[in-house]
Amino acid sequence: MAGVKVLVTTDGSNLSDKAIDTAIDLTKQLGGELIGMTSVVGEAPTGGFEAEDAAVRDRLAAKTRDLLNVSWCSAAIKEAGQKWLDTMNDGEANGEAAKAYIAALEDGLCTVDLSQAFLDGLPADSGQARLAVYALVNTLAGVDGVEQVQLLVEGAALGQPLSPDQSLAAPNQAP
């Protein structure tokens, strides 16, 4: 089943770790591509992450280090993420750093890194391709806080960030 994409979301909990393992197994069985997504809802802890479970802290720190090493990560996110890492053992300073880090991550922009196969699979007709792209953009923009979507293909930006455009909804869908 080439071209199958499996989306798994995680919140850092033990249960979501099991979901990741299951998604990995399913993706291997189907011969597809695994796409991971994580989100945090709510306010950053005011006392920082020093009071959090050590395993959760370690996972968050590891994911942050991974993020800081990708080429497309913005300078603002890298700076805020590094400050968060540097203050992990200082409750009050880490609480403020966590708020700044979350603000830098959110900032209304959702970045999606697509495979070359996605781009190659777009319809040849430019109007149909535009509808397909905006189906993705409009769906993601429906998530609270997402104002624009930056599409990447294999880590390279595919133009400028896109704002939702409900006039480009498929004809059989309500805008």
Q: Please, are residues 83 and 100 in contact by the beta-carbon 8 Å criterion?
A: yes
Cα separation of 51 and 89, whole Å? 9
Q: How many residues does the chain have?
A: 175
Side-chain-side CA neighbours of residue 14 (13 Å):
3
Residues linked to residue 10 through DSSP beta bridges, in sequence order: 38
- Of the spans 35-49, 127-141, 160-174, which averages the highest pLDDT? 127-141
What confidence tier does 173 reach under pLDDT thresholds 50, 70, 90?
very low
Tokens encoding 39: 């989100």
Q: Report the chain's mean pLDDT, rounded to a whole number.
A: 74
Would you say residue 23 has pLDDT above 70? Answer: yes
Would you say residue 46 has pLDDT above 70? Answer: no
Cα separation of 150 and 113, whole Å? 8
**Interval 55-82: pLDDT, tens:** 777 777 887 887 777 665 677 778 888 9
Gyration radius of the chain's alpha carbons: 18
Side-chain-side CA neighbours of residue 36 (13 Å):
14
Q: Which of 6-10, 33-37, 70-74, 80-84 has the lowest mean pLDDT?
A: 70-74
Who contacts 130 (Cβ-Cβ below 8 Å, separation ≥6)?
Answer: 168
Q: Please, are residues 4 and 30 in contact by the beta-carbon 8 Å criterion?
A: yes
Instruction: Note the pLDDT of residue 2.
Output: 55
Cα separation of 96 and 120, whole Å? 43
Report the relative pairing of strands 109-114 and 148-153 from DSSP bridges. Answer: parallel
